[in-house]
């Protein structure tokens, strides 16, 4: 059972803390998942903010929680465990003593969440260490951006490792905290029928898409340095790819799962030099329309010119026998037509067609795993049109909607991950070796993108990305599978 813990949030008044961390902890409190005596200690760099913190965080919670979740009486009780404190991370002064006194007065398990830019991770850990606050069981939680490339990631990881052992470092990829993402493992390893149909013999291609309708969301300076490849592919998309492609761990333990994921990352066929041009597409959104609303171009939103990508499509291969010659098409973009995250496993078509042409066409089977916003698993099959006497083949969908089974289901990835860190369960966190392996696949792509011929292609906001993304997949005789479009046209 989880024991009461102290949860220190460095950067306690920052965007992540206000939007995700404190609301997530409040949800945990409402669900009875926060043990009595737990203290949340957000640090702020400004005394004024400390004084106003409880009001600020209350307003933020009202804004970011879902309708009906904010209940004044529950909040007031929860707010009693919030102890905001003034600390300037960079300056070791008497305020660090106050933090130490507070923590030492409770002597509980400690979790230090570094919700700050990585540039202060090192000094923060140093001060924690000098104040003797890093107990044997203390954990540190860090979040992307974990570096800008392999070298900077290694530097950040080494800095933290000076103060914390690897098994006390919890690197967050919030996609792993989504229940639907974890369900991928259950789908694969607790259901014999899928695992038997999960390799190059049966699968034609795999598509992994995270499509967003949002644009910059006030994160211009971070995003314009990073771009979609670093922001989404290096972490979330590659983690999803690992879960789809990995071998079965012999046990569901953190070490076993991480070891299998690492093998996938290390088996990714490197994309370098000219192969980058052939296997990747960069895009940047131009002005357009989403859900009937006009939206400006990326550069207008940024207020500057930029050649960073807001869309990426990649044809990737995993060089092992399970996945020999099976392309993994990866795609993510901002200001797209629709928000969703989805994995499509497309099976090979029937080997020999027994029906005459007049029966219509068969479609390859597809397993479509929708991770968000709604959670479902669909199997697309060919059936006989039962309403016709003559044989007519048509696509039908077997649809399993998780909302039908889990009526009150709502996944809060941050809540889940914060509680796991408090419970010392690292299964859903990223090992240092995974970070390094992911960057070493990404770095050569970024390097090749420096050539002017690899500048992003423009795509209209509200569409499916640049033409190049279609051309890349069409060149293989395949198509992106956009479920809703396909069903609208009844052409699966
Ligand atoms: C973050 C990225 O990691 O994930 C954002 O930095 C992105 O750019 C977000 O919008 C998407 O997360 P979710 O959970 O909304 O799909």
Distance 349 CA to ligand 1 centre (A): 35
Strand partners, 401: 376
The pick from 231, 332, 410, 411 for probing ligand 1's pocket by mutation, whose C-beta has the most ligand atoms within 8 angstroms, reads 231
In this prediction the pTM is: 0.95
Atom nearest to 372 CA in ligand 1: 16
| Nearest Cα residue to atom 9 of ligand 1 | 232
CATH number of 176-409+430-486: 3.30.360.10
Atom nearest to 226 CA in ligand 1: 6
Cis omega (within 30 of 0) for bond into 145: yes
Distance 56 CA to ligand 1 centre (A): 23
The pick from 20, 143, 212 for probing ligand 1's pocket by mutation, whose C-beta has the most ligand atoms within 8 angstroms, reads 212
| Nearest Cα residue to atom 2 of ligand 1 | 231
Distance 448 CA to ligand 1 centre (A): 25
Give the model's pLDDT for residue 489.
Answer: 53
Give the model's pLDDT for residue 488.
Answer: 59
Q: Which CATH superfamily is domain 5-143 in?
A: NAD(P)-binding Rossmann-like Domain (3.40.50.720)
Q: Are the C-beta atoms of residues 210 and 236 closer than 8 Å to each other?
A: yes
pLDDT in 10s for each residue of the chain, 492 residues: 899 999 999 999 999 999 999 999 999 999 999 999 999 999 999 888 888 999 999 999 999 999 999 999 999 999 999 999 999 998 888 999 999 999 999 889 999 999 999 999 999 999 999 999 999 999 999 988 888 999 999 999 999 999 999 999 999 999 999 999 999 999 999 999 998 899 999 999 999 999 999 999 888 888 999 999 999 999 999 999 999 999 999 999 999 999 999 999 999 999 998 999 999 999 999 999 999 999 999 999 999 999 999 999 999 999 999 999 999 999 999 999 999 999 999 999 998 989 999 999 888 999 999 999 988 999 999 999 999 999 999 999 999 988 888 887 788 999 999 999 999 999 999 999 999 999 999 999 999 999 988 899 999 999 999 999 999 999 999 999 987 666 555 544
Catalytic site positions = 236
Distance 210 CA to ligand 1 centre (A): 9
Distance 351 CA to ligand 1 centre (A): 40
Atom nearest to 236 CA in ligand 1: 3
Rounded CA gap, 454 and 381, in Å? 39
Ligand 1: which residues within 6 Å by Cβ?
212, 214, 231, 341
Domain extents for the chain?
5-143, 176-409+430-486
Give the model's pLDDT for residue 417.
Answer: 97
Q: Which long-range contacts (CB under 8 A, 24 or more apart) does 250-258 make?
A: 252/185, 252/189, 252/427, 253/427, 254/425, 254/426, 254/427, 254/429, 257/185, 257/427, 258/430, 258/431, 258/433, 258/434
| Nearest Cα residue to atom 14 of ligand 1 | 175
């Amino acid at each position: 059972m989880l024991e009461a813990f102290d949860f220190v949030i460095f950067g306690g008044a920052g965007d992540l803390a206000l939007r995700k961390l404190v609301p997530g902890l409040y949800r945990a409190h409402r669900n009875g998942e926060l043990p009595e005596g737990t203290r949340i200690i957000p640090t702020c760099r400004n005394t004024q903010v400390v004084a106003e913190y409880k009001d600020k965080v209350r307003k933020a919670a009202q804004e970011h929680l879902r309708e009906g979740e904010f209940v004044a009486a529950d909040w007031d009780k929860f707010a009693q465990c919030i102890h905001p404190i003034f600390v300037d991370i960079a300056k070791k002064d008497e305020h660090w003593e106050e933090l130490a006194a507070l923590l030492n007065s409770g002597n509980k398990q400690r979790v230090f969440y570094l919700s700050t830019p990585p540039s202060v991770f090192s000094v923060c850990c140093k001060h924690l260490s000098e104040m003797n606050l890093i107990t044997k069981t203390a954990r540190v939680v860090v979040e992307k951006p974990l570096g800008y490339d392999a070298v900077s990631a290694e530097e950040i990881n080494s800095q933290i490792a000076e103060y914390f052992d690897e098994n006390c470092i919890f690197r967050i990829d919030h996609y792993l905290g989504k229940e639907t993402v974890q369900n991928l493992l259950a789908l694969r390893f607790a259901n014999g029928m899928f695992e038997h149909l999960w390799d190059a013999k049966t699968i034609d291609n795999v598509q992994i898409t995270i499509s967003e309708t949002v644009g910059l969301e006030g994160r211009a300076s971070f995003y314009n340095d990073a771009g979609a490849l670093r922001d989404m592919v290096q972490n979330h998309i590659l983690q999803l790819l690992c879960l789809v492609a990995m071998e079965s761990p012999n046990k569901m333990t953190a070490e076993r799962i991480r070891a299998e994921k690492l093998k996938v990352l290390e088996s990714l066929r490197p994309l370098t030099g000219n192969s980058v041009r052939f296997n990747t597409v960069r895009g940047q959104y131009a002005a357009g329309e989403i859900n009937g609303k006009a939206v400006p171009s990326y550069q207008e939103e940024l207020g500057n010119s930029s050649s960073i990508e807001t869309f990426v499509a990649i044809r990737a291969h995993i060089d092992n026998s399970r996945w020999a010659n099976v392309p993994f098409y990866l795609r993510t973009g901002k200001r797209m037509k629709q928000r969703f995250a989805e994995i499509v496993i497309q099976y090979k078509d029937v080997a020999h067609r027994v029906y005459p042409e007049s029966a219509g066409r068969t479609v390859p089977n597809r397993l479509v795993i929708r991770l968000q916003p709604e959670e479902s698993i669909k199997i697309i099959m060919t059936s006989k049109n039962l309403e016709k006497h003559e044989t007519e083949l048509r696509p039908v969908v077997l649809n399993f909607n998780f909302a039908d089974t889990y009526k009150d289901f709502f996944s809060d990835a941050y809540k889940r991950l914060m509680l796991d860190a408090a419970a010392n369960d690292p299964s859903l966190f990223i090992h240092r070796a995974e970070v390094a392996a992911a960057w070493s696949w990404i770095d050569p792509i970024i390097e090749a993108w420096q050539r002017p011929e690899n500048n992003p292609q423009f795509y209209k906001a509200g569409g499916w990305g640049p033409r190049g993304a279609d051309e890349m997949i069409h060149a293989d005789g395949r198509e992106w599978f956009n479920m809703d479009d396909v069903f609208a046209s009844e052409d699966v």
